[in-house]
Amino acid sequence: MQDSPESPQSSFTGRSRSRKTRRSVVLADIISRWLITVGGIGTILSVLTVAVFLIWVVMPLFLPAKISEAEAIEVAREQIQHVGVDEYQVLSWILTPSGTIEVFRLDTGEKRQEIEVFPDGQLVSSSFLIRGDTAAFGLVDGTVQLADVSFQTTILDAEDLPAEVVQKITDGAQSANYRTGVLEPTPGGQFRLQELTVEMGGSARVSSGPVRKLAHVVRGDGPLIVALVEGGPPPAADPASEGDATSDDSATSDDSAPVQLADADPTGDGTEILDAPPESASGELRLVALAFEEESNFLTGETTVEVIGPAEVPMDYGGGEAPDFLRVTGAGNETYIAWRDGRMERVDIRDLDDVRLAETGRLLPSGSSEHLEIFEPVLGGNTFLWGDSSGRVRAGFTVRIEDADDELPTLIDAERPAEETFAFVFAKELAQADAPALTMASSQRSRIVATGFGDGEVRLFNITNARELKAQGLPSNDPVIDLVITPKEDGLLAVTQDRLYHMDLDPRFPEAGFSALFRPVWYEGYANPEHTWQSSSATDDFEMKLGLIPLVFGTLKATFYSMLFGVPLALLAAIFTSEFLDPKTKGIVKPSIELMASLPSVVLGFLAALVFAPYIEKVVPATLALFFTVPVSFLLGAYVWQLLPATFTIKNQRWRFLLVAATVPLGIAWASLMGPLVETLFFAGDLKGWLDWSPTQGEDRFAGAAGGWMLMCLPLSAFAVAFAYGRFVNPRMREKSVHWTRFQFATADLIKFLAGVATTFVLAFVASWVLSALGFDPRGGYLDTFDQRNALVVGFVMGFAIIPIIYTISEDALSTVPEHLRSASLGAGATPWQTAVRIIIPTAMSGLFSAMMIGLGRAVGETMIVLMAAGNTPVMEWNIFQGFRTLSANIAVELPEAVVGSTHYRTLFLAALVLFVLTFVVNTVAEVIRLRFRKRAYQL
């Protein structure tokens, strides 16, 4: 009778066992299955959540700016020469031809204040800064007058205000008129009063005739002014006035008569030219520069002003034709003079005692039908934007000529003195519109500019990456003749012939965009487009550089050098431990290496930065020699072991590793002795001096490049010799050594090794001599200037960090190869080395590859070691003696200081997303390759 499935069954021991699975086992199986399923799905969801969060933070970087529909402000118009607005978009002001500033409410157009700055007929020209309150005015009598035109913000409590004003705001009004300004409630329960103030400053008379045009900039020691004047110097009897001439604000008015806006300067050049002054007696046009140097007495608080100049500025007057544009750079070093036909001159005024013409040329081709409409600086005052009657808008700046890699796009028909080292270049192509570009406004916060065109269109650009952010047309399609970007970049004012328009603005993240983040960008002052990361600076007008490619490059560089150092050591150690080391010694060596993984990264980084880097800097030649002497010494010890009698080697087999390892100190001592000799023979006695040498400077003794080529050719020569030995020498040696004794074969093997070492050095020397003779120099690539914290140090220390994990996984993979494969190979007469290379390693290749990929992931994501030992310099050079900056280290350094929600903040999250994608792609490809190796291993 056959037993039922659930009946007890006797085993060979006589004990009965039930064939029914116990409920506890079934329950454990169900629970394990659910836990594994939930854990796997949870891991996938966690990774996806991280990816989705990073994408959610990063996505706004690539969204376009927003400009609302234009709202017309009902204001009567007459003439307007300059427009200003406060940071809260409550008040706006205009400068009229009569020398009066009129202040009005931006929401209704109601006039709130009228300040007579100059008597009617006195004002001729004026100049205002992009950011700053100091203005300069040119008068009909040849005087240049400084003034501060600014909004004053006063915070008031309810008890400080009339009850009816507080009641009006409490009843629901958003604002109320008070004194000469506008009152608004604040979230804290107080009230904010905005008023315009005008405070007169120093003045100086520079000419006997009117000041036609002027431009100014405020330097550290005071304002610098360049003025186009008519007539000769002022009469000696009427010397230039200096001092603190001031005028009180004129009487104000609260009546709601409409503010009268103006016709802008018909040339649209931005320098305010008001009613034409009477012709001077001589009609002579001169360009002069003068500086107001201010000095404060910290004891008394008094400020004294000294006027330096005026100095004559050279200018090609073109037969008496006055220039249409006059500008000064932000640092006050240069003056730009331009004419509507496209001519331009650049004048060096950094030393008023030695003013010189630096460059002449054309912004437009000679004989072109187009003419310049605007020529304005952007924030910082070093980049200039110009637009012409064809609608083309471009930008440029000066660069150092010798830094350029290719021919520069300089001015048309450019001419410069022989000693001039800078040139003005056409760097940015912003737009090609269908209507003339008439006016431009620059932001006070960033490199954003708004350009107005003849068809009523307003376009917003970021100058740094030449990216058009947004275009918005005005309802009337009338030509835009003046523009203002509000101080907080949250609004735009556009002036046409008939009215003033107000638009809300949200530029989002103009410094970002695909081209700015991942493509070369031509930054201000750079001679070529470059990948650069520099997110902060000490100056407010800093041009943010957010190129991620240097960080990606630094990550790859760190990974490359650390894997180059760590992977061979880890894999060879794993092979030796698994296949050649006796079990007792293996039981000591393997845990010792695995114990290395317990060292924290911050400790390794600390040691790298404060111990290894300073020490290696002192013994660089010996350190480089170490990479050759230690392997040669180790191999030499192995070949010497073969020469020992067989009875001795068999009896002392367990000590073989220690006896061979004893050659490592010999290699270190050998490197210490050879370091100074190598430095003297190949690097003229100073390796760091040889690395820093360039053809244009330095001592001639460093000109020879053979030492560097020798250093780089040695590994290639070793590979070439090894290949030749394996292909030609070893087969012949096996044929000839059939009847040799063990000692004879070991002796021949040692001679072959020594000959190979000698051949390697000879081959490297010949190759280095030939390359040097042909004029090739390795400096500037893998070899260049030495920095204390460099890739050599990071590669060594990070390689030390990844060795334990690669070694452990590799050794486990080799040890799990079935023992019968080893036995079969050895039984067939193969040596242990042949068995390892031809049987064990191919079988375990999937595990070895997994170990390398896990080590790669460890190296890619490493933070503390590269943060402390790499120097954090975002440069794109493979130079092993120079530092770098990685994605992870950059995030760790800058994220705590980044403003939440800013462009910088989101770009750091983009760096994290790039690192995530990089590791995801590498691991995916690695898994595909691993599975392929595994499939091949199963077929063995």
Residues of the chain with pLDDT > 70, as a percent, come to: 90
Tokens 């110009």 map to which residue? 386
Of 55-69, 96-110, 290-304, 558-572, where does mean pLDDT reach its minimum? 290-304
255, pLDDT greater than 50: no
Phi, psi of 230, deg, nearest 5: -115, 130
pLDDT tens figures, 676-711: 888 888 887 888 888 887 776 666 777 778 888 888
**pLDDT category of residue 136 using cuts at 50, 70 and 90:** very high
Phi, psi of 623, deg, nearest 5: -65, -40
Q: Of the spans 7-11, 240-244, 277-281, 431-435, which averages the highest pLDDT?
A: 431-435
Question: What is the signed CA dihedral for 840, 841, 842, 847, rounded to 10 degrees?
Answer: 110
Tokens 């997303």 map to which residue? 913
pLDDT of the residue at 538? 65
Compute the distance between CA of residue 912 and CA of residue 493 in angstroms, rounded to an integer. Answer: 39
**pLDDT category of residue 469 using cuts at 50, 70 and 90:** very high
pLDDT tens figures, 14-45: 666 667 778 888 889 899 999 999 998 998 99
pLDDT of the residue at 891? 92
**pLDDT category of residue 277 using cuts at 50, 70 and 90:** very low
pLDDT of the residue at 880? 85
Computed over every residue of the chain, the mean pLDDT equals 84
**pLDDT category of residue 520 using cuts at 50, 70 and 90:** very high
pLDDT of the residue at 715? 87
717, pLDDT greater than 50: yes
Q: Can you say whether residue 775 is alpha, beta or left, with left for phi > 0 and alpha for psi between -120 and 50 degrees?
A: left
Measured CA to CA in angstroms, residue 487 lies from 125, 271, 383, 774 at distances of 24, 20, 20, 60
581, pLDDT greater than 90: no
CB 385 within 8 A of CB 374: yes
Bigger pLDDT: 316 vs 422: 422
pLDDT tens figures, 868-881: 888 888 888 888 88
pLDDT tens figures, 74-89: 665 556 778 899 999 9
pLDDT of the residue at 274? 33
215, pLDDT greater than 50: yes
Q: How large is the average pLDDT for residues 207-223? A: 89
pLDDT of the residue at 58? 93
pLDDT of the residue at 908? 94
Q: What is the DSSP string of 511-553?
A: T-SHHHHHS-B--TT-SS-B--EE---SSTT---EE-SHHHHH
Q: Which residues contact 661 (CB under 8 A, 6 or more apart)?
A: 634, 637
Alpha helix (H) ranges present in 17-102?
23-58
Q: How large is the average pLDDT for residues 522-541? A: 84
270, pLDDT greater than 50: no
Residues of the chain with pLDDT > 90, as a percent, come to: 26
pLDDT tens figures, 803-846: 999 999 999 888 888 888 888 988 888 888 888 888 888 888 88
**pLDDT category of residue 318 using cuts at 50, 70 and 90:** low
**pLDDT category of residue 272 using cuts at 50, 70 and 90:** very low
Of 57-61, 317-321, 334-338, where does mean pLDDT reach its minimum? 317-321
